[in-house]
Amino acid sequence: MEKNQTMITEFILLGFSLDPRIHLVLCGVFSLFYTFTLLGNGTIFGLICLDSRLHTPMYFFLSHLAIVDMAYACNTVPQMLLNLLDPAKPISFAGCMTQTFLFLAFAHIECLLLVLMSYDRYVAICHPLRYSTIMSWRVCITLVATSWACGFLLALVHVVLILRLPFCGPHEINHFFCEILSVLKLACADTRLNKVVIFAACVFILVGPLCLVLVSYTHILVAILRIQSGEGRSKAFSTCSSHLCVVGLFFGSAIVMYMAPKSRHPEEQQKILFLFYSFFNPMLNPLIYSLRNAEVKGALRRALCKESHSILGWPLKP
């Protein structure tokens, strides 16, 4: 690298190439969605914490999924809203690397949590008599702690590999947040090692977990079809269907983004996919779990009933 090249200390996020008036409309719409994401996931987390009937391994995993979804939104959406209002406002190099690190960490953690949730459903349906032994609280806490640790460690590997690269210009990232592939395009050095590690991570954290989820649900489907009771079969399908919806949305969009062949206009299409992956998925998850899960709806009704009784001053039934 030549000595007269200036190292980059900040980036400009180009965001969406649209009319400024449309930016204002998008800012209002995305602000509404952002609020709904935080309220929805916060409600799910609060219900699980407050309702003792939801103190089970499945809802323990779901509470961590809600935390990850809120963290996803808080990591990318505020910066995106700021850029919609002021496209020329830069983000510091340290802030960009932090955003990349957190996005990758939460993505890895969500992948692993979805695998844990599918394994939990597999044990509950295929080995119900041994469920409390296999999915003990000690095991659940260990699995969740391992997921968080692996997620942050894998993200740290990616960021360390980025930090070894020189960035000497240009300083414009063609994205609405510091997405790792978009950042690598600005590096003034060979990024083949970074891309190999990203591909290996995709195989390890996307393809591998997805295969485990599919294997779990194959066993679950076989077990459900053996259930004689129509009511029991319906309850089992209902319990698993919401999780399958989340798995399909998350893994489908992630694999298309990182492993599908690039099209003629990859950058603009990838922005839309990332918008769905990092914004709409966290917003839809609480909606899916609340509308398709009778226990969550029951917990919400009990919480609202308790709140209304306390406001009116009526005694609660024992």
For residue range 37-62, list pLDDT tens digits in order.
Answer: 999 899 889 888 888 888 889 889 98
For strand 10-13 and strand 172-173, is the pairing parallel, antiparallel, or unpaired?
Answer: parallel
Q: What percent of the chain has pLDDT over 90?
A: 26
What domain range is 186 assigned to? 10-312
Please give the distance of CA 142 from its chain centroid, rounded to a whole number: 20
Nearest to 111 by CA among 277, 272, 236, 279: 277
Q: Taking the alpha carbons of 60, 63, 65, 67 in that order, is the dihedral positive or negative? A: negative
Residue 3 pLDDT > 70: no
pLDDT digits (tens, 9 = 90+) for 103-158: 999 999 999 998 998 899 889 888 888 999 999 999 999 999 999 999 999 999 99
126's tokens? 């295929």
Q: How confident is the model at residue 99 (pLDDT cuts 50, 70, 90)?
A: very high
Could you give the CA distance from residue 31 to residue 273 in angstroms, rounded to a whole number?
Answer: 19
Residue 318 pLDDT > 80: no
User: Is 57 in contact with 140 (CB distance < 8 Å)?
Assistant: yes
116, part of any domain: yes
CA dihedral 120, 123, 129, 134 (to 10 degrees): -70
Q: How confident is the model at residue 301 (pLDDT cuts 50, 70, 90)?
A: confident
Could you give the CA distance from residue 311 to residue 89 in angstroms, rounded to a whole number?
Answer: 46
Nearest to 33 by CA among 289, 300, 284: 284
Name which residue leads in pLDDT, 24 or 290: 24
Look up the pTM and report it.
0.85
In total, how many domains does the chain have? 1
Q: What is the CATH number of the domain that holds 51?
A: 1.20.1070.10
Nearest to 117 by CA among 38, 217, 44: 217
Rounded (10°) angle between helices 20-50 and 57-85: 160
Q: How confident is the model at residue 19 (pLDDT cuts 50, 70, 90)?
A: confident
228's tokens? 């004689």
Length in residues, the chain: 318
What mean pLDDT, rounded, does the chain reach?
Answer: 82
63, part of any domain: yes
pLDDT at 312: 47
Could you give the CA distance from residue 256 to residue 68 in angstroms, rounded to a whole number?
Answer: 21
Residue 176 pLDDT > 90: no
Name which residue leads in pLDDT, 312 or 69: 69
5, part of any domain: no
Which DSSP category does 264 fall into?
A: S
117's tokens? 């949730």
Cis status of the peptide bond prior to 170, with omega within 30 of 0: yes
DSSP sequence for 240-258: HHHHHHHHHHHHHHHHHHH
